[in-house]
Amino acid sequence: MKKALATVTLSGSLPAKLEAAAAAGFQGIEIFENDLTQFNGSPADVRRMAEDLGLEIIALQPFRDMEGMPEPYRSQKMYYIQRKFDLMHELGTDRLLMCSNVSPHASSDRAQCAADLHEIAEMASREGLRAGYEALAWGRHIADYEDAWDLVKRADHPALGINLDTFHMFARGNTLDCLRNEIPVEKIALVQVADAPIMQMDVLQYSRHFRCFPGQGDLPVVEFVQCLKDKGFDDYLSHEIFNDEFRSSSPKEKAVDGVRSLIWLEEQVGKDASIPEPEITDVEFVEFAVEGESGEELVQLLQSLGFRETHKHRSKNVSLMRQGDINLVLNREPESLAREHYQLHGVSVCALALATNNLKALLERSERYKLTRFANQAGPGELNIPAVRGVGDSLVYFVERSSNFRFFDIDFVPVAGEESGLGLARIDHIGQSVANTDFLSASFFYKSLFDFTIEPSQDLPDIYGLVVSRTAESRNGRVRIPINMSEARQASPQRFIQRSRGSGFQQVAFECDDIFVAASGVDSDKVLPVPGNYYRDIEAKFALDPELIERLQSLNILYDRDEKGGEFFHFYTLETHGVFFEVAQRKGGYSRYGEANAHIRFAAQSRYYELSDDEGELS
């Protein structure tokens, strides 16, 4: 199936939208009429621009409120649509998208409505054009696609077909039965695929603000496309997305997201269960861009957590700190991508390395999804670890683990001295703070490329506003990445973004063997203090033993328990350049992240910051 995009999906001017769509790899474009009327040029100019970019203008849209209208409105609409046909000739397109009537003047008489559609189709046929009719989910009399199909059948004209829009279908709870059993493929005029999170709200507001690309929401878009494929449909799949994030984002970035979503959709439909897919098995290392005194502040915090420098790179100013199966790379190399990241964002996590069971297949997958590749500057005999651009400016490295050696056995030289620590065993999860315009893109990055599961969003209360969070998790549960965003300027994710000048990894959580041993070994002035009222609350909530409460409070350890009795103990360090660490212990199969304590962490962190007029630095 071919890929298309309605111009309303992207932000910017019409030329910018066309250029973004072509650069991303779309083959077709739907011209949204507002974009055309705002354009300071002729329809013929638009046609030439599209042709020069290799784009087919597949439709002009939308034409509204034409069926079942009384006079004089009906005559006005017929004149209006004739002028639109003239416009279509200038644009070089032969398809017109029509929407079901929402006017209070509209008649519910289906015979009259069908007669109007037949007359419009006859007018289009004389012009060598065709029309498609679509049910708006808030249509006055026609709101379900089954009813739209009934009108198309009644009109009975070869130049008239039905438009299928997944949002309008699934927002009203429609099934695929009518499409599967009644609608012939030759009567499908246009297909638009949009996803959305499941929400209970006014359908018009739902449509105008919360549509998203396939794979970014919860609608059964895969089943829909599978149904089309089974029927032999091979025309365009087009995006028509209304979304506040998209309207405030780069059109080039969103166009790329749109192409990736259609690639993902095709992949899901054509998936062969007998062919094993590459799997992400673990976090191999986390890399920090560090330099000067600010970098040493981070090193000292890590040393307080029991990390020690265990290896030095053979040819670069890069060191490795280890504890358990945790690998933290500190990159001070002047000629490196880490240096570029430092110049943009200061001391920060610049890269994440993920272990995979099939490096070759994962690289092929990254190329299929049009991800930017980066090559490591490797010396003789060193590993050339491939990477792709991740969320924000960070990199994601791919490492295929060997049973005989690890990456540091090849590229690093051990430093004299024994490895010590506080019993930190592995990376439990890595938190990422992103701008609201990156929130959907970030989760889809992990879902599409790595086949991670994306949990539904949840709201976490910061004292300055709500934080929206959702977690991406690998199939084996070993890699977990909570993704946080907030539109509140002073909330935790926004403070990080302002300070670091962009989205990035803000939190690294370590799993430990014994939370009390770990907490006792950390310098108390590095630990985030927890208010005493919190401990009174959890004592009452969980009926905890007073001795346990005392131990928790003395070490600023937070506590949570799930419905099955699983327990979660955790504490946080203070932030250093916006980055902070968490140490956690899980008992009894607890699988969450202590979300019940998020508001305590947000409030405690905010007390250490006084937002200045510009960036909000540590006071």
Q: Which residues are annotated as part of the binding site for a divalent metal cation?
A: 134, 165, 192, 240
What HEC string does 76-145 produce? Answer: HHHHHHHHHHHHHHHHCCCEEEEECCCCCCCCCCHHHHHHHHHHHHHHHHHCCCEEEEECCCCCCCCCCH
Who contacts 607 (Cβ-Cβ below 8 Å, separation ≥6)? none
Rounded-to-integer distance, Cα 9 and Cα 151, Å: 28
What the block records as the tokens of 381 is 């005999």
Who contacts 612 (Cβ-Cβ below 8 Å, separation ≥6)? none
First vs last C-alpha separation in the chain? 56
Who contacts 175 (Cβ-Cβ below 8 Å, separation ≥6)? none
Rounded-to-integer distance, Cα 445 and Cα 256, Å: 11
Burial class (CB in 10 A: 0-12, 13-18, 19+), 612: exposed
Who contacts 518 (Cβ-Cβ below 8 Å, separation ≥6)? 305, 306, 422, 423, 424, 512, 583, 585
Who contacts 399 (Cβ-Cβ below 8 Å, separation ≥6)? 284, 285, 353, 354, 355, 356, 359, 385, 407
Q: Which residue has the tokens 């995979």?
A: 356
Q: Which residue has the tokens 């050696």?
A: 405
Q: Which residue has the tokens 């968490």?
A: 582
- Categorise residue 556: left if φ over 0, alpha if ψ from -120 to 50, beta otherwise: left
Q: Which residues are annotated as part of the binding site?
A: 134, 165, 192, 240
Rounded-to-integer distance, Cα 50 and Cα 56, Å: 7
Give 197-203 contacts, CB < 8 A, sequence gap 24+: 197/456, 197/457, 198/456, 203/137, 203/138, 203/171, 203/172
Contact 248, 437 (CB under 8 A): yes
CB atoms within 10 A of CB 384: 9
Rounded-to-integer distance, Cα 82 and Cα 497, Å: 52
Q: What is residue 524's three-state secondary structure?
A: helix
Closest CA to 161 of 132, 186, 140: 132
Rounded-to-integer distance, Cα 77 and Cα 116, Å: 10
